[in-house]
Structure 1
Amino acid sequence: MAYSSGPLNEELQCSICLDVFTDPVTTPCGHNFCRSCLNKCWTNTETCFCSVCEEQFSRRPDLEINTTLREVVQQFQDKLKLEKSEVFCDFCDEREHKAVKSCLTCQSSYCESHLEPHLRVPRLKKHTLINAVENLEDYLCQKHERPLELFCRDDQTCVCLSCTEGDHRSHNTVPIEEESQQKKIQLFQTQTDMQQMIQKRMKKIQEIQHSVELRKRNTEEEKSSSVDLFTDLIRSIERCQSELLKMMEEQQKAAEKQAEDLIKELQQEITDLKKRNTELEQISHTDDHLQLLQKLSSLCSHPHIKNWTEIRTDSDVNVLPIKRALIQLEKTLNEKLCQSGLKCLQKFAVDLTLDSDTANPYLILSGNGKQMDI
């Protein structure tokens, strides 16, 4: 049942089903949900989390009904029922009594007292009675001004008996009650599909969040390893260290931005699906067969949503560019160290001439005694 919008209504509204709380429960983080909605969200999932603040719980919390909040909701619902527009009897003086039934044949609404002839007189007992409504003209055929009692499956529209003798003569028509029951079965399946799509998207959000956290840890490990390495480098390559750290930060920001965009898109689809599911829930419980059939085609159509099965997120840091840079740095460092070592040895260079008489017989000296081979 949908309620009029307002500040109080928003405070008493479940963020999952977008309706006023039913058996409200409170999570450890302080947010409130319908108990059944939260149980559905946590079914077949390894990680339980709040769909409002996204806080994760190490174990599934024990959900007890918030009795105080439930009483507030009940008071709100009772007050709202009193404020609802009422249908009054068309035959009572000064509209004193509320109507209980409306007659599509007579196009009038009756209280219990004035309805009595329709329940007693044989001719009136054949009239079509429905729950009291204000807009009786919506339940009549605009062409023949007769009750819309049948549904044309060929044209997917409600028709009267006169329509079946004219434009819909050869069409497949059934009583409106029969078609309504059939459509309610379809509504149930559609609602089930909607719930599954919501669950898949919420699970995808968990996967993305986990991927971001894993990537963040990997990034921190890589940063720590890189910083340790750069600490040992000489001043001449400090500029390269700064550039590599900047590269890693940019990769992380790009990954978080991608994850943020995916989450926003998923949350938007969840919001749209919840809205449609709420509308389906409302219309599935209505006794207004005409309204159900008129709104059904648009609500049961497949929503325009993305197939998230093919969407993947990468939790690993792209270390290939970093490793290439490190190899280059190592090469540069080795060259600098070799150059430094060579310069250091050159400081202690002396002019040495080897003695062929005292040299090991396995050594072959050059003619000038400056070089040797084995």
Structure 2
Amino acid sequence: MAENMSLLGLEDELTCSICLCLFENPVSLICGHSFCASCLEATWNDRISSLSCPQCRMAFPSKPELKKNTVLSAVLEAYRIKAGVPEPVKEHLEVKKKDPDAIKCDNCMEAKAVKTCLTCMASYCEDHVRPHRENAIFRAHQLSDPLPDLMERLCSSHGKLMEFYCNQHQSCICSTCLQDMHKGCEFITADEQRFKQK
């Protein structure tokens, strides 16, 4: 019983932060973060400029060689057996060319998104972004050009937008991380860090 309870707590650690499913063929980067091999490849194939870890944003001057994390694979297999989780049948992210028209409005799911609200964590077409532009309630919301990687911008621990960059730990963090684990660390906004990397 205790063994099964401890297994239940492992699911988050065995979940890819890109596809949000249990790892399939996990690979690890030098920063220590792991992803499904196909998810990481698909994410990197969408990048035009430099490659970085989708979780902590550590930049890589050249594409690192991806090696299977055999220990994580073994733990994952034991978890699948003991928790009764079947082998994955899901299709992983497809390797595709970056297409800005592919970002659709999260409200109507049809029209092309023209803006992404980083406060709402949603993309909107011209019609559905109008309240953000016209209503004073939304004045403090942060709008950006449409972003295809919204899930990558969420903290895997707290589910909040990673708005800050911790200089000490060289990672993007959310406001809760800043008040908890990174209390006392020097930080800048994530946008400032992205600007510095360009």
* Length-normalised TM-score, structure 2: 0.46
- Say which structure is richer in helix: 1
For the pair shown, which has the larger CA radius of gyration, 1 or 2?
Answer: 1
- Say which structure is richer in strand: 2
- Higher relative contact order structure (alpha carbons within 8 Å, sequence separation ≥ 6): 2
* Length-normalised TM-score, structure 1: 0.25
